[in-house]
Structure 1
Amino acid sequence: MAAVFDLHFHPLAKRFLHEFDDEKRQNGAYADPLRIPLIGQVADAAVGFILETQASIAQAVKGEYRLGVAAIVSTEYVFASRKGVLKLLEYELFERDLFAPLDNRLFDFINESQGSYHQLFAKELQFYKWAAGLLPLTKPETIIINLVNRKAAGGARFEAGKLNLLLAVEGGHNFCELRINEAMAIPHPARLIRKYREDKSVDFLYLTLTHLSHVQEQCLCSHAFGFKLVKDIPEARPQADGLTDLGKQVINACINTNTNQAPILIDIKHMSLQGRRDFYAYRKTLLHDPPADFTPPSLNEKPLWPIVATHMGVTGYDSRDLGNFIKEYGVEEGNEHSIRVKLSRQMAGVLPVGLGFSQVFFNPATINLCNDDITEIALSDGLIGISLDARILGFDIIIQRRYTVVDYFSKGDFARFFPELAQRLNYLEPEPDEADHADEPVFLSAHEGRFQGLAGRITRETYLFCLNVLHIVAVINRLPLAERHNRDGWDFVCLGTDYDGLIDSIKAARTAESLPAFKKELVHYLTKAEKAYRETFTGTPSLLTENVEVVLDKLFYTNGENFIKRWWGMV
């Protein structure tokens, strides 16, 4: 099967950033990739091709997408501020963009507190409705998109020949109606979420509770540190203590089916490790001892609340073993609300090629899934999307090989995990700049194929993708069959590319158009990767009990479609 399902991507995001005016944005070019100026292409190569359009509507169609989840996310202050990476890319010369075709009015709106994150969210939501031909006055000449909606007449329907999209919300800040950076009033995101749930014109599969920064005007949960292209902005580091009371109100508003049968699932991506633990505990309370005004979601008249993790990699360890991976911890001057932690890396496997660089490692940062997270998702009958961001998967440059990774915890989260260590905090020197998004040294990039056996970037990234998937399957298959809903570990994984989410996508699947070829390439990698995984994690039983093509069909499409059919009743 050549079809593709994607649990998390941003097909209209680059077009939205390009034009702030709603009416001007609604034109025939909406489906096409954006062209980047020449100097912008040079800058983009230096930071990891994050500006290059990876998944426009046209690219997704060429990449054989049949079904996917389009995530809407409002640009946060940390990216738009004068210290944020996007702000650095908005410069113009003679009224022409030097680096990237981004509309400066968006940055002005954010930096000057002209409105709220929810206003930006509503503008992008309207763009999706227009593209799907749902607005009464204006429509595209050719309608390529079908927005799947449980609340529409006839229910959630799949349309052949179109790009079938479900919508999702990345970050609870999208439901904040307070002016950006003005925290004087009391936010009411739960009230707004209930309003959206009653709106029959729109439907959301999931809400990613937090994103990549501490939003002072509406804090729902501490976030996992995950974006290194902003410097000296404290809000980029986590500051809250796990899941807040306001976050619990939002979860309740999303999930309660007491008066509404269209719940919004919670995506645990971007939640801090402590935030995830708090969420699991709160979820269990709502499922097994709910308050009188709360009815948990159900399937076939049985309570069921799937957990989704939409664009992930794995740490390779159980969170209870986190202390064994800490090599350094302390406080940075200017970031006193956060604890900097240096983590060692769990080996993912030894590749059959390498010339001395055959070992590859998972990314141990807590933005990734720990083994106990994977278990919670399987027990819930949930779904895990695998990111195609090279850094999330654990890729590291050969010459600058680092065996540790810097992570950050809020002080509250760190104290709850490590009460004794929290009593012995020292100040640390500022972490030196890392070339986190630099490409391979030119010599190796250009000539790696000339050296017999050298594991170049494409090879290492592709193996790491396989090893991340295999680790999830292995962890799930340790569970008794009944606890994993009588399904194999391969039934819980899918793609969650995060294309156009400012990622450095792996070279073998740089854009959505690459995915059919990438799938064919994986046929040659997966068996070797499984052998390498089992040699590293001794005692692991065979993980490829089915034909490789069968498990790849599950990974690339059928698991996602089955989940949507099961959860949304899509026909």
Structure 2
Amino acid sequence: MISKKDTGRLPLSSNFKTKGVMSIIDEFMGNAFDSQSSPGMVKSSSLGYGVTALMAMEYAFAENINGFFKGFSSSKLPINWDFIDRVKNRETTYFDLLKEEIGYYQSNYAMLENDFKIKFISRKKPSDEDIFNNQQYTYLAFSVEGAHNFSNAKIRDTATATNPEKCYREIQNDEENVDIFSINLVHLSEIPEQHMCGFAQALNGTAQIAFRSEDFIPKSGFGISDKGKDFIRTVFLHSNPSLIDIKHMSVFSRHKFYQFREELGSEHPETLRLPIISSHTGFTFSSIKDFLEQKNYRSDFRYVQGKTICEIQSKNQSIGKTDFLLNNKLFSNPWTINLFDEEILEIMKSNGLIGISMDQRILGAAKSMMDGSRPDYFKDPEAIPLYEWRKWFKEGTFDLKEAFTTESKTDREVRHIYLLCAHILYAVRLGYSEMNWVGERSPWDHICIGSDYDGLINPINPYDDVTSLGKLRNDLLVYLPIVDKRLEPLKEIRVFKNKNSEPIEESYLVQCVDKFLSENGKNFLKRFLNNWN
């Protein structure tokens, strides 16, 4: 979709930067556009390994975008309106758009490798070099964000049956095509021509101003559909299987996935070697059982265009403190797009990986200057699909049968790094609290950075884009032990204290930070290249 004066895409050598009035709007939206990572930015960053998403633009983004953005010239916001209109006018399929995206990457492999030192990894054509000892390049694997990308029906054509399994095999069986590391079953909107599972609301009111569509509101969740189960079965049983990324699934659908994974594993034990991942996420700092049964939310519904929109508004939960005299409390983001305690453990038990997002909103920051003082309930309610709302949130019953040394920073910047550290430490504390660990394994082996810098995020300050990741390591070394002293949930477990309450050795802290920033991701990619064996 990105172009230069409507004649083609923004050149690979250019960074995406808004200008003029559009830069003000982008600031209002949380720098969603300017955080995009260009090849040049990747080259100049400290990124060594990562996953990049392939994605066909959903109809919801194109439905009303013209009215908001079309008054800006392409020099301020380089958008190919012909592309937008193809989606809006339903002239193509998501699968055709995905293949166009793949083709664009493939046509630029040589330039990406030679000019920007970026290579893509694949099990289909294993590299002769030892990529884990080569510091010259950045190595990327491909993910697909949303199974709508495998829909071969015209956009919004609900009369035509789709065959996502066939589309997946078309790509994954082709030795010359990309090798898919992981797939999200859903993304940010309803895809009526191909229901796979329920999705969690992600866009708040600010984003809805720019992309105005009722499709962003979850309505028709139901766990995992039969089509979704058939797709998962095809993906998991492939000779080069991809992982299912649970990010963007509704919390009810996520639990149905955990359940179906076990069922499929009893029939095909080899599939249980495939770990569960959540690629770019945050935590609610709560168990789903407590959240539902203690009714830590208030519930309501409304009618829009004849459809019932069910909403919950979660209670705010203070998770820690800072040193500031005012504005000193930290809060999580309780929206159900974030993981509950049971899910963090489920991923760890699967030998999986949790990528913690760098989006300040996902981590729990708010726009308010007085973010350390909040009302009883989280400001923004979130929509829950009707069936799932009735199943869990109306009665408040969790039915287990259904589931299964740094630079000077502003106050806001310190709050943001505190929030990132809080998520890291909470996962580790929970892992130690609820699981028995054998040998050298620990919860530190199952978390990593999940920046989402190729998404429309509002990055935590001061890590505005991928080029700023180099300074994150030093900041984590400084702030992780500090936040460990201040984090309230599971506070009886101190991550950085020995049994005799003596301070931990610095080498252990360094080892943990390096696992989070690089080693876990590298080891995970090694498993991928070894077909998860």
TM-score higher than 0.5 here? yes
**Larger deviation: 491-500 or 561-570?**
561-570
Question: Would the alpha carbon gap of residues 144 and 337 (structure 1) be closer, same or farther in structure 2, given more than 3 Å must change?
Answer: farther
The answer for the alignment partner of 2:192 in structure 1 is 216
Question: Would the alpha carbon gap of residues 140 and 165 (structure 1) be closer, same or farther in structure 2, given more than 3 Å must change?
Answer: closer
Within 2, Cα distance between the matches of 1:148 and 1:68? 10
Matched, 1:528 2:482: yes
Question: Would the alpha carbon gap of residues 222 and 139 (structure 1) be closer, same or farther in structure 2, given more than 3 Å must change?
Answer: closer
Within 1, Cα distance between the matches of 2:480 and 2:213? 41
1:96-495 correspondence to structure 2 within 5 Å: 96-97=73-74, 99-133=76-110, 142=115, 144-153=117-126, 158=131, 160-201=135-176, 202-228=178-204, 229-230=207-208, 233-238=213-218, 239-257=220-238, 260=239, 262-290=240-268, 296-297=270-271, 303-323=272-292, 324-334=294-304, 336-351=307-322, 353-396=323-366, 397-399=368-370, 402-403=374-375, 404-405=377-378, 406-418=381-393, 420=395, 456-482=411-437, 487-495=441-449
Q: Deviations over 1:12-37 (max 9, x none)?
A: xxxx523698x944x8x314312322
The answer for the alignment partner of 1:9 in structure 2 is none
The answer for the alignment partner of 1:17 in structure 2 is 2
* Contact in 2 for aligned 1:354/1:455 (Cα 8 Å): no
User: Cα offset for 1:64?
Assistant: 1.3
Matched letter for residue 524 of structure 1:
V
Within 2, Cα distance between the matches of 1:53 and 1:106? 22
Q: Deviations over 1:519-553 (max 9, x none)?
A: 212222111111111x5533224346563222111
Question: Would the alpha carbon gap of residues 554 and 141 (structure 1) be closer, same or farther in structure 2, given more than 3 Å must change?
Answer: closer
* Contact in 1 for aligned 2:5/2:78 (Cα 8 Å): no
Matched letter for residue 226 of structure 2:
D
**Larger deviation: 34-43 or 356-365?**
34-43
Within 2, Cα distance between the matches of 1:19 and 1:175? 28
SS at match of 2:115: coil
SS at match of 1:539: coil
Matched letter for residue 183 of structure 2:
L
SS at match of 1:114: coil
* Contact in 2 for aligned 1:317/1:346 (Cα 8 Å): no
Q: Deviations over 1:118-141 (max 9, x none)?
A: 1221111112212223xxxx9986
The answer for the alignment partner of 2:68 in structure 1 is 88
Q: Deviations over 1:243-270 (max 9, x none)?
A: 111111111111114xx2x100000000
* Contact in 2 for aligned 1:191/1:253 (Cα 8 Å): no
* Contact in 2 for aligned 1:116/1:178 (Cα 8 Å): yes
Within 2, Cα distance between the matches of 1:528 and 1:34? 36
* Contact in 1 for aligned 2:94/2:152 (Cα 8 Å): yes
Within 2, Cα distance between the matches of 1:569 and 1:155? 14
**How high is the TM-score relative to the length of structure 1?**
0.82
Question: Would the alpha carbon gap of residues 217 and 479 (structure 1) be closer, same or farther in structure 2, given more than 3 Å must change?
Answer: same
* Contact in 2 for aligned 1:315/1:370 (Cα 8 Å): yes
Question: Would the alpha carbon gap of residues 155 and 122 (structure 1) be closer, same or farther in structure 2, given more than 3 Å must change?
Answer: farther
**How high is the TM-score relative to the length of structure 2?**
0.87
User: Cα offset for 1:325?
Assistant: 4.9
Within 1, Cα distance between the matches of 2:120 and 2:62? 30
Matched letter for residue 540 of structure 1:
I
Within 2, Cα distance between the matches of 1:313 and 1:255? 26
Question: Would the alpha carbon gap of residues 157 and 167 (structure 1) be closer, same or farther in structure 2, given more than 3 Å must change?
Answer: farther
Matched letter for residue 542 of structure 1:
V
Matched letter for residue 296 of structure 1:
E
Within 2, Cα distance between the matches of 1:234 and 1:44? 22
Within 2, Cα distance between the matches of 1:368 and 1:285? 25
The answer for the alignment partner of 2:401 in structure 1 is none
Aligned residue pair count: 498
Question: Would the alpha carbon gap of residues 121 and 266 (structure 1) be closer, same or farther in structure 2, given more than 3 Å must change?
Answer: same
SS at match of 2:270: coil
SS at match of 2:18: coil
Matched letter for residue 392 of structure 2:
F
SS at match of 1:164: strand
The answer for the alignment partner of 1:34 in structure 2 is 16
The answer for the alignment partner of 2:528 in structure 1 is 567
Matched letter for residue 518 of structure 1:
L
SS at match of 1:230: helix
Within 2, Cα distance between the matches of 1:143 and 1:252? 37
User: Cα offset for 1:565?
Assistant: 1.1
Unaligned runs of 5+ in 2: 398-407, 498-503
Question: Would the alpha carbon gap of residues 283 and 528 (structure 1) be closer, same or farther in structure 2, given more than 3 Å must change?
Answer: same
Within 2, Cα distance between the matches of 1:413 and 1:32? 44
SS at match of 1:173: helix
Question: Would the alpha carbon gap of residues 536 and 272 (structure 1) be closer, same or farther in structure 2, given more than 3 Å must change?
Answer: closer
Q: Deviations over 1:135-154 (max 9, x none)?
A: xxx99863632110001155
User: Cα offset for 1:116?
Assistant: 1.1
CA RMSD between the two structures: 2.6
Unaligned runs of 5+ in 1: 1-15, 298-302, 423-448
